[in-house]
Copies of this chain bind each other. A is one copy, B any other.
Amino acid sequence: MARFDLDAHLAADTATIGDWTLSRVLLMNDSRFPWLVLVPRRKGCTEVFDLSTDDQNMLMAEIARAALAIRAVFNVEKINVGALGNVVPQLHVHVVGRRKGDAAWPGPVWGSGKAEAYSAASRRSWVERLSAELATVPAD
């Protein structure tokens, strides 16, 4: 199987948490929202229908798993899920915890204001805490 390479923009905007069966699990470097990004480790996919049916089912299971973990770790009222890809075509799915009154509420997080980067220490701390909750393996 062709090697999966993470898009450079996604890599620049995130910290790696680890790999699940299908997806690389990333933490978006924006402290305004608890925000995970799932990237199926398949080459050349831009739309969900580019995945096999088995991979589509796995992606849905991993979305549900990410959503449940965000709800378990953070105090959120709603989960937003989105696969857009207008800027970065590599198929990736945002799973974002939302709270009433957060920086974009009730609008979408995409394109809303400017990201506020985590401090190195707090990013490390969230990656560790989420890695434990998400039970990922280290990415290759």
Contacts and interface: CB of A to CB of B under 8 A. Distances in A.
A80 B5 CA distance: 22
B81 A64 contact: no
A8 interface: no
A86 B82 contact: no
A68 interface: yes
Q: Interface centre among A46, A49, A57, by most B CB within 10 Å?
A: A49
A111 interface: yes
B60 A59 contact: yes
A55 B53 CA distance: 14
A47 B60 contact: no
Report, as a range, how many residues of chain A touch the other chain: 20 to 34
A109 to B, nearest CB: 9
Interface stretch (A9-17, A30-38, A100-108, A121-129): A100-108
Nearest to A94: B82
A115 to B, nearest CB: 15
Given A57-B60, A68-B49, A108-B110, A86 B81 contact: no
B106 A107 contact: no
A83 B127 CA distance: 25
